[in-house]
Amino acid sequence: MSAADNASGPSPLNAGEPAGLGAYGETITLVEGGSFCLSDRRGDVEPGRPQGLFFRDARVLSRWELLVDGKPPEPLSVLSPEAFAARFVLRRPPQAGLADSTLLVTRDRMVADGMHELITLENMGREATAVVLELHVDADFVDLFSVKEGRSGGRRAEMTTTDGELLLHDRSDLSRGLALTSSVEPMVLPGTMIWRVVVPAGGRWQTEITASPAGAAQRAPTQGTVGERYRASEPVRKIQAWRNTATDITSDSQLLTRVLRRTESDLGALQIHSDTGTGRPFVAAGAPWFMTLFGRDSLLTAWMSLPLEVDLALGTLQQLAELQGQAVDPLVEEEPGRIMHEMRRGPAVGQVLGGQIYYGTVDATPLFVMLLAECLRWGADPNAIQALLPAADQAIAWITEYGDRDGDGFVEYQRATDRGLINQGWKDSFDGINFAEGRLAEAPIALCEVQGYVYAAYLGRAELAEAFGDYPTATRLRDRAAQLRIKFAEQFWLPERGWYAVALDGGKRKVDALTSNVAHCLWSGIATDEHAAELVQHLAGAEMDSGFGLRTLATSMGAYNPMSYHCGSVWPHDTAIAVAGLMRYRHVPGAAELAIRLAGGLLDAAAAFDGRLPELFCGFPRGRFAAPVPYPTSCSPQAWASAAPLLLVRSFLGLQPDVPNRTLTISPRVPSDWGRLVLSEFRLGDTTLDLEAAGDHVRTSGVPDDWQLIIE
């Protein structure tokens, strides 16, 4: 995802990191599809802070503060059963001279094309109590990235009141607005809703408030109790449908099972459905700042999520294919066949980006082809796969005609204008690619992991060609992959160091820092066995293994900073890819043992983050701090971090389905502290089976007689 850059001027692509997030206490993030809400632990959205309700990349609530008798209620706890819902438990501040309060205040909030909030006052005292409840609201309707950068500027909404309803409008564009209604009619003033109530002893009082943005889907309110309306709500129906189709994965390890439950919930909430009317799902990159379709993030998340279901991957591919580059446009870095980097819909996007879609990424295009081939193996509809073959061919053409800028056989990147991302791999901060002494690499840059993705894309497209009877194309692409693998070993390997250069720079110099990028070369399979053996030794050292996961940059490198975004931090998805790569080379001494150790550290980190892995955390050694140190502006939930535990499960099971050829290969090496690992209702095409593994043993049921089951 886009990180800090040194491009001139504000940009949705180089927006820097969120301003002030986390500086005022823990931020509570709720997300559902393209909507999300950031608040403090009271449930309040305070003016001037990077909080609010966001809809279609714009902030539609910049203030949402509850007062009880003129004071903020005191927070007791926050419960979040799903990624889209939370209960804020509070109390009225005690009266002067008293230690206790007798009025419980709860705020049950759900995000869904806007926001619903049920406020409950419960009187624990022995006599009736009078309460004045005030809700202060405002909206600035500014772009998501203006909030992220702290450039919101204190704008206020145009407000009107009518029949107990409060309407907020954007002063510069009256088509953008928000309607606030309450089930108990309040006194309504511009910016304030007031209720004066008496709660009897032992009794309760409730009102349900709805905030509906202009353009949100308007649904008739469901009758019945609050609980019944919650169960019938669109987010609950969507998450239940997701759970009904997804594989159920459990373990004897309570921690792993808890993390997987959170993974399932977060991935369900991060799903967005296409606006085209097809209803196809794809996954947003993460909350709070990346609730939109991304090329790289969405593709890798879909890949990791295949053990749950294949439809998410197929929907992601279909959506990206519709947006595939068709022309050369330097302003948004579009090129024919290129897969986009990100989509934006906020108010400022046209002013800075020049359009809703930006294409400046070097790795999404080969990842698209890789995932398409993987979807066929995992049982996606062959007709849908075949329909995407032209997009795959355009992607291959981009690799050879545009990606390989100088004809040397490697894919490089260099931004087309000063508005684009300087670095266009997954480490896309301006300082993400550097030499061992700390000097920044200069473009055009050929990343090591991207060459691995291209290698796997060639092999994947060859496999697709064979599946559909195009044998000459299969032979040609296999030959091209073999040539790339040889050339990569010759030009990227650093024999004096024992690892691959992270990149070749504009002068074809080897950028010699030791990074986690090299582990992606294990995942893609481009690494030779000899090189893999040396890589394992370096990845296993304390320079790279923090104890909670793999660092992005070794501690001995000049640019190392454990509190940086890409130069020494730990990214869960990156560690999970390293684990997958190590298990691919499990025959190499020490590879499987290191994979188990890295996975254990990552799950211990998840425990410290309440079962939800964040986008990243600081790379301090475990021996220095007993728990991982949070990175202050990390996204959570974040799609590929949420999906990372699924890649761990797949890697230690050694799952390799080949549905077209009716073959399932399993190579189990389940960590001992996981105990039994169980997959129930595991769908592969039209086949559903159950699988149970422990250690290097596995049992299956439901495998059809015409399937070949290979256990290695």
pLDDT in the model for residue 606: 96
Sheet holding 271-273, edge to edge: 271-273, 281-286, 290-293
DSSP 442: -
Average pLDDT for 212-241: 63
**Global confidence as pTM:** 0.85
Answer whether residue 161 shows pLDDT above 80.
Answer: yes
CB 396 within 8 A of CB 461: yes
CB 42 within 8 A of CB 72: yes
Question: What residues does 507 pair with on adjacent strands?
Answer: none
Sheet holding 656-658, edge to edge: 656-658, 663-666, 708-711
CB 662 within 8 A of CB 708: yes
The residue written with tokens 């992959």 in the block is: 481
pLDDT tens-place string over residues 112-132: 878 999 999 999 999 999 999
Sheet holding 52-55, edge to edge: 28-32, 35-39, 52-55, 58-61
pLDDT tens-place string over residues 11-21: 444 333 333 33
| Preceding peptide of 288 cis, ω within 30° | yes
pLDDT tens-place string over residues 515-567: 999 999 999 999 999 999 999 999 999 999 999 999 999 999 999 999 999 99
Answer whether residue 89 shows pLDDT above 80.
Answer: yes
The tokens describing 340, both together, are 């986009």
Instruction: Identify the band that residue 415 occupies on the pLDDT scale cut at 50, 70 and 90.
Output: very high
The tokens describing 416, both together, are 């087309």
Q: Which long-range contacts (CB under 8 A, 24 or more apart) does 151-156 make?
A: 151/10, 152/48, 152/59, 152/62, 154/47, 154/48, 155/62
The tokens describing 633, both together, are 């502006």
pLDDT tens-place string over residues 13-68: 433 333 333 333 478 989 887 788 999 999 999 998 889 999 877 899 999 999 99
CB 654 within 8 A of CB 712: yes
In 3-state terms the chain splits into helix, strand, coil percentages (rounded to 5) of 30, 25, 45
Answer whether residue 422 shows pLDDT above 80.
Answer: yes
pLDDT tens-place string over residues 325-376: 999 999 999 999 999 999 876 555 544 444 589 999 999 999 999 999 999 9
Q: Write a three-state SS string for 561-586.
A: CCCCCCCCCECHHHHHHHHHHHHHCC
Question: What is the Cα–Cα distance from 103 to 75, expressed in whole angstroms?
Answer: 12
The tokens describing 345, both together, are 């819909």
pLDDT tens-place string over residues 440-455: 999 999 999 999 999 9
Instruction: Identify the band that residue 216 occupies on the pLDDT scale cut at 50, 70 and 90.
Output: low
Average pLDDT for 231-249: 76
Inter-helix orientation angle 639-653/254-269, to 10° = 130
Question: What residues does 342 pair with on adjacent strands?
Answer: 294, 358
The tokens describing 148, both together, are 């992220």
Instruction: Identify the band that residue 633 occupies on the pLDDT scale cut at 50, 70 and 90.
Output: confident
Q: Tell me how many degrees the CA angle 36-37-39 measures, rounded to the nearest 5.
A: 160
The tokens describing 186, both together, are 């309040």
Residues of the chain above pLDDT 70, percent: 89
DSSP labels, 486-551 = HHHHHHHEETTTTEE-SEE-TT--EE---BTHHHHHHHHT-S-HHHHHHHHHHHTSTTTB-SSSBB
Answer whether residue 238 shows pLDDT above 80.
Answer: no
- Cα 399 to Cα 369, 415, 476: the distances in Å are 11, 16, 15
CB 671 within 8 A of CB 658: no
Question: What is the Cα–Cα distance from 536 to 454, expressed in whole angstroms?
Answer: 22
